[in-house]
Amino acid sequence: MNDEKSPNRDPRIANLDVIQVWDEKEGRFNSAHTDNISRSGLFILTRDPLPIGNEVRVKFILVSGGRHGSDIELQPVDVRGKVVHRVTEQEAAPGMNPGMGISFIDLPEDVLQTIDKIITSGLEPSPTS
């Protein structure tokens, strides 16, 4: 989930908003910030990324609309994902943030459509708690 271009990589949009990540070990949600989001997943900024393969639950709100007089639309998302990439502080190259790439599991079609709409419109999605 770094900035390398890949033919299999979904278009994504930069995002630095808050997301809630379920921590099984602690039995609670922890707040984190996202770096970017796409229809296949997102990258969460954290100094303590979970191991690859761990499943997580993430909650956020997608914000769309609001351009050229259109109404702002808020879409709560509560979805499971899987850690597919991680960058620890020790591994992070200069200018790279530590964190973990999360691949969505069974993201509903309406959420995929909203993410596509946000990316094609150039709006910044705003996951919040």
CA–CA distance from 117 to each of 34, 98, 99, 111 (Å)? 18, 28, 26, 10
DSSP bridge partners of 85: 101
pLDDT at 11: 72
Domain range holding 73? 13-121
Contact between 32 and 23 (Cβ < 8 Å): no
Q: Classify residue 6: in a domain, yes or no.
A: no
Q: In total, how many domains does the chain have?
A: 1
Question: pLDDT for 23-33, tens place per residue?
Answer: 777 788 889 99
Q: What is the pTM of this model?
A: 0.77
Q: Classify residue 102: in a domain, yes or no.
A: yes
pLDDT: is 104 or 2 the higher one?
Answer: 104
Phi, psi of 32 (to 5 degrees): -150, 175
Looking at residue 46, which CATH number applies to its domain?
2.40.10.220
In the chain, pLDDT over 70 holds for what percent of residues? 79
Phi, psi of 119 (to 5 degrees): -65, -45
DSSP bridge partners of 99: 45, 87
6 pLDDT exceeds 60? no
